[in-house]
Structure 1
Amino acid sequence: MQALLPAQCELFLNQYTCSELAEYKQLFGTIDPNNDGYITCNQLKNYLMCSMNHISSEELEEIVNEADLSGCGRITFDNFMQLILNRDLKEKRTETKSVFDSFDLNRDGYIDILDLSAVFFSLNSKDENQIITVFKQLDRNNDGKVDFEEFQEFMDYCNDLPF
Structure 2
Amino acid sequence: MEAISITNSDIKSYYTCNQLAEYRQLFGTFELNKDGHITCTQLKKYLTGNYMKKSNEELEEIVNEADLSGCGRITFDNFMQLILNRDLEEKRTEIKSLFDSFDSNRDGYIDIAELSAVFFSLNSKDENQIITVFKQLDRNNDGKVDFEEFHSFMAQGDDLKL
TM-score, normalised by the number of residues in structure 1: 0.89
- Does 2:18 match 1:25? no
What is the distance in 2 between the residues matched to 1:12 and 1:95? 20
CA contact (8 A) 2:103 2:109 kept: yes
Identity %: 75
Which residue of structure 2 lines up, in the alignment, with residue 136 of structure 1? 135
Which residue of structure 1 lines up, in the alignment, with residue 124 of structure 2? 125
Consecutive unaligned residues of structure 2, counting only runs of 5 or more, are 1-6
- Does 2:69 match 1:70? yes
Matches within 5 A, 1:2-41: 10=9, 12-41=11-40
CA contact (8 A) 1:138 1:151 kept: yes
How far 1:124 sits from its partner (Å)? 1.1
Which residue of structure 2 lines up, in the alignment, with residue 149 of structure 1? 148
CA contact (8 A) 1:9 1:21 kept: no
The verdict on how the C-alpha distance between 1:127 and 1:159 changes in structure 2, with shifts beyond 3 A counting, is closer
How far 1:30 sits from its partner (Å)? 0.3
Runs of 4 or more, structure 1, over 6 Å off, are none
What is the distance in 1 between the residues matched to 2:36 and 2:132? 52
CA contact (8 A) 2:115 2:134 kept: yes
What is the distance in 2 between the residues matched to 1:46 and 1:59? 13
Q: For 1:13, give the aligned amino acid.
A: K
- Of structures 1 and 2, the one with the larger relative CO (CA 8 A, separation 6+) is 2
TM-score, normalised by the number of residues in structure 2: 0.89
CA contact (8 A) 1:69 1:79 kept: yes
The verdict on how the C-alpha distance between 1:159 and 1:31 changes in structure 2, with shifts beyond 3 A counting, is farther
What is the distance in 2 between the residues matched to 1:77 and 1:53? 20
Which residue of structure 2 lines up, in the alignment, with residue 158 of structure 1? 157
Which residue of structure 2 lines up, in the alignment, with residue 43 of structure 1? 42
How far 1:9 sits from its partner (Å)? 6.4
Q: How many residues align?
A: 154
What is the distance in 2 between the residues matched to 1:11 and 1:78? 11
Q: For 1:120, give the aligned amino acid.
A: F
How far 1:19 sits from its partner (Å)? 1.1
* Matched position secondary structure for 1:13: helix
Which residue of structure 2 lines up, in the alignment, with residue 97 of structure 1? 96
How far 1:58 sits from its partner (Å)? 2.2
CA contact (8 A) 1:9 1:18 kept: no
The verdict on how the C-alpha distance between 1:11 and 1:108 changes in structure 2, with shifts beyond 3 A counting, is closer
How far 1:159 sits from its partner (Å)? 6.2
The verdict on how the C-alpha distance between 1:143 and 1:159 changes in structure 2, with shifts beyond 3 A counting, is closer
